[in-house]
């Protein structure tokens, strides 16, 4: 695998694999399937960016154009011991970004020279861009998971159930945000860095 832009940091493909590893189906995926899901999810994120965003269209104009609202929440949202960065609420066309998560990420970026390329990136815009991708899923694209084949997973001895790899949505959203904001890496690097 290629080295990242900065020694000691993962490549985009490794970051996509990091996101994929959070999927419940990950242990059942072959190496070929892992490569397929990560590569194709990144390509789909770019495809959706190219199809629905004009060249150099700022995030605030996109939010207005697609009637999506943003709220900065002062209270943290912690789930399973992890501070959430942001959430999307399709019923309200609302993106909620958490101030505490923004501050934590900005602190990490300031403290590690390997993240120097991120110093001039508006962290709230990164979080908003990822959630905006999910807004596009809700209003025009449809669920990205459905663009990928389902997998059968045994439930009981004789029964199986079809499941989809859900993390492809997160990978595609990260690629979309990278393209939209012209970021140096997939934004997953911020999550990777916080959780290592």
**Overall pTM > 0.75:** yes
* Strand 94-98 with 86-89, pairing: antiparallel
Residue 143, pLDDT score: 92
pLDDT in tens, 7-61: 678 899 999 999 999 999 999 899 999 999 999 999 999 999 999 997 888 999 9
pLDDT in tens, 153-169: 655 555 556 788 999 99
Of the candidates 96, 90, 115, 116, the one whose C-alpha atom is nearest the C-alpha of residue 191 is: 115
Q: Tokens 């970021």 identify what position?
A: 183
Residue 46, pLDDT score: 95
Tell me if 144 sits within 8 A of 41, measured CB to CB. yes
Residue 159, pLDDT score: 54
> Alpha carbon of 41 to those of 47, 104, 189: distances in Å?
10, 28, 16
Q: How far apart are CA 131 and CA 168, in angstroms?
A: 14
Tell me if 15 sits within 8 A of 192, measured CB to CB. yes
Collect all residues with Cβ–Cβ distance below 8 Å to 20 and sequence separation of at least 6: 26, 29, 34, 37, 38, 165, 167, 168, 171
Confidence band, pLDDT 50/70/90 cuts, at residue 192: confident
> What is the residue-wise DSSP string for 111-125?
H-GGGGGGTTS-HHH
> Alpha carbon of 136 to those of 129, 133, 173, 183: distances in Å?
11, 5, 10, 20
- Mean pLDDT computed over 80-102: 91
Q: How far apart are CA 14 and CA 39, in angstroms?
A: 11
């Amino acid at each position: 695998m290629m080295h990242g832009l900065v020694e000691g940091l993962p490549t985009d493909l490794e970051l996509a694999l990091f996101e994929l590893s959070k999927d419940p189906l990950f242990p059942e995926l072959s190496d070929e399937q892992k490569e397929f899901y990560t590569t194709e999810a990144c390509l789909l994120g770019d495809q959706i960016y190219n199809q629905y965003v004009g060249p150099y269209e700022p995030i605030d104009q996109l939010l207005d154009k697609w009637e999506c609202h943003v709220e900065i929440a002062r209270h943290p949202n912690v789930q399973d011991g992890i501070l959430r960065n942001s959430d999307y609420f399709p019923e309200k066309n609302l993106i909620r970004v958490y101030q505490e998560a923004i501050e934590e990420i900005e602190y990490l970026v300031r403290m590690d020279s390997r993240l120097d390329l991120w110093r001039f990136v508006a962290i709230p815009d990164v979080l908003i861009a990822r959630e905006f991708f999910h807004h596009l899923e809700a209003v025009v694209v449809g669920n990205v998971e459905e663009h990928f084949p389902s997998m059968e997973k045994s439930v009981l001895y004789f029964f199986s159930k079809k499941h989809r790899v859900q993390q492809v949505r997160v990978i595609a959203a990260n690629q979309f945000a990278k393209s939209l904001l012209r970021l140096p890496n997939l934004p997953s690097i911020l999550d990777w860095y916080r959780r290592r």
